[in-house]
Chain A
């Protein structure tokens, strides 16, 4: 549990000399088996490196150690009227968020980690410290190593500091929900909103099954009708601007939904709406009490989301499994949660696994990706070649081989061994 960059360097160098694998660890909220070790080795926890090194409100940047938790960072930044917009729901650490190219509900407006990480300090598998990226918002100097390390899932080095791009806290925010007769009309409304250039902060779709789970789990909230829904958040620097965004969105949504969404500017109800949305994993699992959910994650070109989601919902139903579907409609990215009980018969487990497999294959066939957000870890290793072809995977292996020839950094992740 190092407390300084020097300690990280020493530990990595020591492990390199003895051929000991290293698995870097933040908060452990990753979802594709990133932190599971398939062999012997050490877990390198960054939890003690939890300081905010500097905040630069005028630059809209801050530099933090990797063990800083997202929620603690935002609490601190709030005092300066700033926030870090990447919101995966979980209280992940910044280092982990960098390593997985984390994303979330606000990606549609603010982008993913790659967009919001400006620079990193990385300890290489040889125990050397390198600095990548730049504190400037734009940088074209050389190969973008920063973009290589972001999303490298601990397989290329240990992140020991990150410079992040911040946003000012929005002055005027409102959020609303809207029910739709079916999933296609909800997805069609999303496309329309995007085509009108409305800069939604968040636009999420939830199928009927997730709404039922949602209602059951969040009993204190208003009961939503058992139909697909969109949850939307808008923000604007001025009140008039916000009103006109709301008005336009209402017109667009009511065209597809035959009902008019209502918006609220009350901070408490906006907060609880998104807290409830973020608890959809738990809500889904509550449909089968004491279960753990298999979390799926795919992303396709936005016009394909409607077809993809509908086919998946039908597949889930045909397979006779529980599988609420919901997601970041504005990115073409959605998740199907498939709750599993420890004593489920093998047949059920196989059905669930098959639903996921078909979902991923469908997404790849549509020109999408086997993972929009959660990364490869171990869970998606089998799909890289199908998605990219042998050529690109070969290049990835060459990079890994060049940077970590002894394969001590989080072995057994992302790339299938030869």
Chain B
């Protein structure tokens, strides 16, 4: 089985982001960037399949600027075999929309013929969570989203729902899976593997070279911080509390 894994370079989850001066985007200057946490989980799942001898090849693909190659190197250090870098200078946190990403991935899939495509369920910058489903739709293949457990032998996926989990059966491969938090705990790549990854192959080509026509994305009107939390207040007694809950917060 050949597995294609999508990885995205995003602002590191621990960074406290700031709004850019023009209020049109998040300020990315000198900000620490890392692989999207859900993409890490996707890569881990693919590498585990390879270690279990269920997958023969793991290909990592990333769309983004020159620095996205670093994200691909991390995937390679975790155990992916080779990387595909689709270069673009469009901002991947807001200018390149989910449908465009799905179209690009569909074209890559057309060229690579993977049996399974594993993506993160969403990226932590856009948080759209659409790409996986759109990709499956474009490719006309089954989609198993929010996967907490994937069983390739039984063709079932345990997926997260708002009330717990449910088990779905997919008709077969190829199929698209999106990784949720509980799917696995990704490994840290060891230094020797990081060194080895420098020698693994990454093929780079632009969106135009790939021959994909992008869809119009959303237009960002304004980016702003949420209003600061108001300080709490002390109430005198229970009656005061009940009064506030009833008449101010309107929750009882």
Q: Which residues of A are in contact with B by a Cβ distance under 8 Å?
A: 57, 72, 75-76, 78-82, 168-171, 237, 267-268
Contact = CB atoms under 8 A, between A and B. Distances in A.
A170 B14 contact: no
Contacts of B77: 81
A169 B14 contact: no
A169 B34 contact: no
A267 B194 CA distance: 19
Q: Which 10 A/B pairs are nearest by Cβ-Cβ distance?
A: A78-B188, A168-B191, A81-B191, A81-B194, A171-B190, A169-B190, A81-B190, A81-B189, A169-B188, A171-B192
B165 interface: no
Interface of B: 14, 34, 74, 77, 185, 187-194
Contacts of A81: 77, 188-194
B80 to A, nearest CB: 15
Nearest to A170: B190
Contacts of A169: 188-191
B14 A72 contact: yes
A171 B185 CA distance: 16
Contacts of B193: 81, 171
A57 B70 CA distance: 15
Nearest to B187: A267
Given A72-B14, A76-B14, A268-B185, A82 B191 contact: yes
A80 B194 CA distance: 8
Contacts of B187: 267
Nearest to A171: B190
Contact of B34 (A79, A267, A268): A79
Contacts of A76: 14
Contacts of B189: 81, 169
Contacts of A82: 191
17 contacts: A57-B191, A72-B14, A75-B14, A78-B188, A79-B188, A80-B194, A81-B188, A81-B190, A81-B191, A81-B194, A168-B190, A168-B192, A169-B190, A171-B192, A237-B192, A267-B185, A268-B185
A393 B193 CA distance: 50
